[in-house]
Structure 1
Amino acid sequence: MDDARKGDAALSAGKPEEALEHFTKALSVNSTAVKYYIGRATAYQRTAKYTESLNDADLAVVLARKRGSRELIKDAQFRRAIALFHLAKYADAAFLLRIVRQLDEKDKMLPIWEAKVAKKLEDIAEDDEKRKVTIKETPDVEVPNVSASAAPAKIEEPAPMPQAPTAVVPTPKDKIKTDWYQSQDIVTLNIMAKGVPKDKASVEIEKNAVSISFPVVNSSEYSYSADPLYAPIDPSQSKYRVTPTKIEVTLRKSTPGVKWHKLEGDGPVAASTNENKSSVPYHLLKDNESTPAYPTSSKSGVKNWDKVVVNDLDDQDEIEGDETSHFFKQLYGNATPEQQRAMMKSYSESGGTVLSTDWSNVGNKTVEPSPPEGMEAKKY
């Protein structure tokens, strides 16, 4: 059970390889635990080992039916469907998703995967073999014998009762916002929502897509999907974390150095031959253009950061200030013209308490101050 808990924690932290090790250890002690097989099937999927994932999900279905657990059957069938989708068996995946809908039509990830399968089937001819269902609702697999560790069970001392955390008021569905930024190697996606329950948040990271879903107030569901992404990522090196104020998804670029011009795209983008130039917004490269100068604590006086970004983006000695200042200056330099306008407007109008790159959200209104909890904004 301890290894199973560690496996669940590793999955939540976006560490599927570590989760595989823990679930495998847990199954060596209890080879008929349905949840362990479902957990390992999930970890296999996130490391692109879809055949192994399907094998574990098949076993989980048979064991769950023996237990008569509707919830476990549903979870196991869902994992089978995802594995078959990635193995290009779209008709089989659609067949299992219909079974999942019969068991729980309110499953939060179901609509996303139904849409993905339907999109694949649209491009397949009517007489194609991939349109034929080749599997059974209950797979024909051999159930392992009950195993138990030879060592006596370890009696653990009860853990001290933790202090109850301060309750966080969940963000309403219509107030949830998304934002993203990037570096040479990483794309970071933020879902700005307070009070997301860690055990009920679902994040699926694939090579060309990311899907997020979690319950919100009033028994509703919030779903977000970026499919396809602007460029491929490495799912095994990507991860996510749920904090009291947001879900942060860190996506590792398959090709480092490729600048994403938006989060979603129509297909993969080729790496640029001169990334330093391509990563600078075009309007900063115009000759004789008057660019704004920003405040600085430098003894040498006001510095034109737009000029710094254009002339020498990678010259660390040119960028003064601490690491935080350096980060925000790079973020501004790598932003599109629209994102830069949003950053300047939101930062100045909010008194330095809000920094947004979404012009559609801040362009048509005054950005109100939003100080951290326990502090208040004052006008001077």
Structure 2
Amino acid sequence: MAAELFSKANEEFVSENYQRAIELYSEAIQAEDDRDDFYVNRAQAYLKLEKYTEAYNDCSKACTIKPKNVKAHLRKGIALFHLKDYKNAIDAFREGQSLDSADSSYAKWLEKCEAELPPLSSSSTEQASSAPTEPTEEPSTQPTAQTPSDSTTEPPTMPPAEPVKMPSGPKTKHDWYQTATHVIVTILIKNVAKEDFTADIQEHTVSVSIRQGSGTDYSLELDLAHPIVPAQSNYKVMSTKVEIKLKKEEGIQWTKLEGEGQPKEPTAYMAAPVATAPTTSQYPSSSTVSRDWDKLALEVAEEEKTEKKEGDAALNSLFQQIYSDGTDDVKRAMLKSFYESGGTVLSTNWTEVGKDKVDVKPPDGLEWKKY
């Protein structure tokens, strides 16, 4: 019963139905309240809705159940950071870092916390060290009455302060799609300065932080459904969006962007057939709700036209332009030469290419092998 509710809650979370996911996680917790992963996942849904106090409470409960739950310490620290409780956030991040020192996201969050703390002033220390000491009084010969507070009474403790709620900024959406080799995550946020953007890309996780002018930070924490290759992944900050390109470790089709313990699909990635007469621009997404991205396309069209391409992107753009502007013979020559040569030759001369099969011509120093 609880496991089934937990599975349904994870599906709702992946579909970005965070409130419904919280409801299902809560039902699962009512059925089985000693599962730390139930609390940790509900905390992540609370973080998505910027309910940081609830997220902190869930992570604290998860840490009580399983003190070595790494995700619980990380998400607890993130919740405390957004609640502006930076000192306790540092403690949470350091605890998680001691359990998983290989995860560099802890170091980055610790750096963010320390940047928010005011610098320590040395004036108070110097004043204390230079202040004259009080003269020692002579011991009194008169008996003194002892009060009970001399040995038994402890100093009064102050009640814990309620965490301060941070003002909620504008909601920011993210989406994703995939190719045979990459997963591309798009964050729809405008006018992000490169110095305000940080991304930590690990084999199984992606952590994004964007400092915004409203005084709040946007953060995105992804637990990826499958491993990626961080060294071959990158991101690009544009005026209307941020694009994170993740290199798949294996060329399989992802059915979800996020997931825990999800088995690998046995089938290799296959591209979906191209529709002959699409009526609406649809964006592949983890969400079950179809989205019309025509409006966004209009906003970024001008930027992509004027965007300066480099390297392979510039070369591919040139080939595409030649193909689109070419005659039927030019197009036939380009397709035939590229296909028959295994991608090593690209010719526009149909008179030459049409006579015979195009041979493979690998670059100098490389040997062509047929597998």
Q: TM-score, normalised by structure 2?
A: 0.44
Q: Which has the higher contact order (CA 8 A, sep 6+)?
A: 1
TM norm structure 1: 0.43
Rg (Cα) greater in structure? 2
